Amino acid sequence: MSKSTEFQLVKGRVFADLGLYERVSGLYDGQWLAGEGRRRIAVHSPINGERLAEVAVADEEDYSRLIERAWMSFAEWSLVPAPKRGEVVREIGDRLREYVDTLGLLVSLEVGKTPVEGKGEVQEMIDIADFAVGLSRQLYGKTIASERQHHRLFEQWHPHGVVGVITAFNFPCAVWSWNAFIAAVIGNVVVWKPSPNGALTAIAITNIVNEVLDEQGLPALFFVAVDGAGEIGRLMSSDRKLPLLSFTGSVRTGREVAARVGERIGRSILELGGNNAAIVTPDADMEIALRGVAFGALATAAQRCTTTRRLILHESLFDSLLPRLIEAYRSVRVGSPLEPGVLVGPLISGRAVESYSSAIGRAEASGGRVLVGNSVLALPGLEGGNYVAPTLIDGLAPDSEIVCEETFAPILYVLSYSDLEEAFAIHNCVPQGLSSSIFSNNLREVEAFLSVVGSDCGLANVNAGTAGAEIGGAFGGEKDTGGGRESGSDAWKAYARRQTVTVNYGDELPLAQGVTFDVN
Ligand code: NAD
């Protein structure tokens, strides 16, 4: 069977199962907006450049109506007891279980992940749904000892109202669910602006979620507005009717979003780009290090925010570990993610391929030496796809401009260190601070890495790669990565407003700090 036929078969099956068509609406405001007469964007598959569908996008008027309706839903939803809200999220998680395979394949078609990674993303949604169900019974506030007699002092957490979620292309399902399910059990209503490159996945998920809400006679809780070039994203950033905006994307766009939200003194959760490094010391288990670095640097075609982009390798390992890594880079199969055995799929767009080539050019101009890779690939039967050869480069200064940037493509810079202090200095010299890892079995090295002089990132992994976080921990990074936290642990608090409550149940009015204020 030709690659094109196989692609069409998969597309047909996925579209039929998920209720997608060649022309779909990209605005859900309680109902799907009719597409006639509206601007449309085309969604192409990075696998072969084929047009998957056309999506009608929202304009400013549509957006205003959507926000109004979302607040109407909030009035109802916020009064539902939290554990009952959890029940609804449980049903949604169960329904998603029925669609793991096809939704995972849609992720493959739309953003080029391998089916196992696409499925993993859907699994992550299910996991976070389970987490949110538990959380719906654990939205605790503290009781604090009051200094005044017959007074009770405590904290409670209320929903913000309507919460905006803007997501990047590279996690078209999971990141929305990290935000949406946690926000929903707290009592918020969610407005999602997905990446145009993940629009079909967003539409399919909304269809699945709506099945559950309709069955339960609930109002719309998960709204969607697709745009073409950030128009709706800009409206959301400036909109005072979104007290909280969670933004996942590049540092460049995040800066603009942060400025707009800051201007209106709103709250934001910023999950921006990373520039993650793995340190490999002579005391590492080399098999684990090799696999951990290869997975971290190559999985999802290096289009994860947590992708390993810098390998900080002890100078003594350049003759042993590095040749093995070069070999792994040579042998890894690049191609259509629908083909068995392929580990590295396409980049999301032609622009991403250009930034790959340009970064390599800049690295070479700065003294970098390409060890393997540096090739844009024209694969038979996949001519419209965006394929590149995974590339290793050494010889660059750790603080050179190109090494300090996040290039969203499979390029790994290999940097040399001689002592651990130097490794940490190299590690921390980039502006981003998302994920980090050390491969070592030496307790002192590991603990130093985890100490205040070690990794300055939001995620620090030991003998595990920089990529592949679990949902139970709070996820996010420091410095230019934005400081936001999503997903597990107590990250839920960002989706709620804290209220400190004082109740005087006595028959006097004592004031705090012993202040007296007698008016008669
Ligand atoms: P991007 O910044 O180009 O786009 C992100 C989102 O912002 C998209 O939905 C886009 O349509 C929207 N957008 C564009 N212009 C906007 C504007 N002016 N105002 C508001 N929204 C606007 O990022 P991308 O290419 O889709 O994704 C890759 C980037 O996302 C990488 O930098 C990656 O590291 C980062 N990322 C970070 C995390 C994290 O958790 N830290 C997770 C995934 C991706």
Host H or E run for residue 238: helix 231-238
| Per-residue model confidence (pLDDT) at position 42 | 97
CA dist., res. 102 & res. 195, Å (int) = 20
Which three-class secondary structure state does DSSP give residue 80?
Answer: coil
272 lines ligand 1 (CB under 6 A): yes
Q: How much is the pLDDT for 519?
A: 87
191-231 confidence digits (pLDDT tens): 999 999 999 999 999 999 999 999 999 999 999 999 999 99
Rounded to whole angstroms, the maximal C-alpha distance in the chain is: 94
pLDDT of residue 250: 98
- Residue 35: the pLDDT is 78
Contact 264, 238 (CB under 8 A): yes
Q: What CATH number matches the domain at 7-272+484-498, 3.40.605.10, 3.30.70.360, 3.80.30.20, 2.60.40.1180?
A: 3.40.605.10
Percentage of residues in the chain having pLDDT higher than 70: 100
**What's the confidence (pLDDT) of residue 343?**
97
Distance 442 CA to ligand 1 centre (A): 38
Measured from the Cβ of residue 197, the count of other Cβ atoms closer than 10 Å reads: 20
Residue 1 has pLDDT above 90, yes or no: no
261's tokens = 């939200």
pTM above 0.75, yes or no: yes
Best of 128, 253, 478, 487 for a ligand 1 pocket test (most atoms within 8 Å of beta carbon): 253
Token digits of residue 218: 């609930």
Q: What is the pLDDT of residue 427?
A: 98
Tell me the pLDDT band of 7, cut-offs 50, 70 and 90. very high
420 token code pair: 């651990």
Q: Render pLDDT for 384-441 as a digit per residue (tens, 0 to 9).
A: 999 999 999 999 999 999 999 999 999 999 999 999 999 999 999 999 999 999 999 9
Catalytic-role residue among 271, 406, 445, 486: 271
Same fold? 7-272+484-498, 276-479: no
Residue 361 confidence (pLDDT) above 80: yes
Q: Which atom of ligand 1 is nearest to the CA of 195?
A: 9
More confident residue, 278 or 36: 278
Per-residue pLDDT tens digits for 128-179: 999 999 999 999 999 999 999 999 999 999 999 999 999 999 999 999 999 9
Pick the catalytic residue from 91, 117, 124, 305: 305
Q: Helices 100-111 and 199-215 meet at what angle, rounded to 10?
A: 160
What CATH homologous superfamily does 276-479 map to?
Aldehyde Dehydrogenase; Chain A, domain 2 (3.40.309.10)
For the question of residue 305 being annotated catalytic, the response is yes
Side chain identity at residue 492, one-letter code: W
**How far is it, in rounded angstroms, from Cα 106 to Cα 102?**
6
The model's confidence at residue 120, banded by pLDDT at 50, 70 and 90, is: very high
Kindly give the number of the ligand 1 atom that is closest to the alpha carbon of 271.
Answer: 41
Task: Give the model's pLDDT for residue 520.
Answer: 75
| CA–CA dist 413, 429 (Å, integer) | 14
Residue 355: phi and psi, rounded to 5, are -70, -30
Binding site membership of 373 for ligand 1 (Cβ less than 6 Å) = no
> What is the structure's pLDDT at 37?
84
Residue-level pLDDT at 36: 83
Residue ranges of the domains in the chain? 7-272+484-498, 276-479
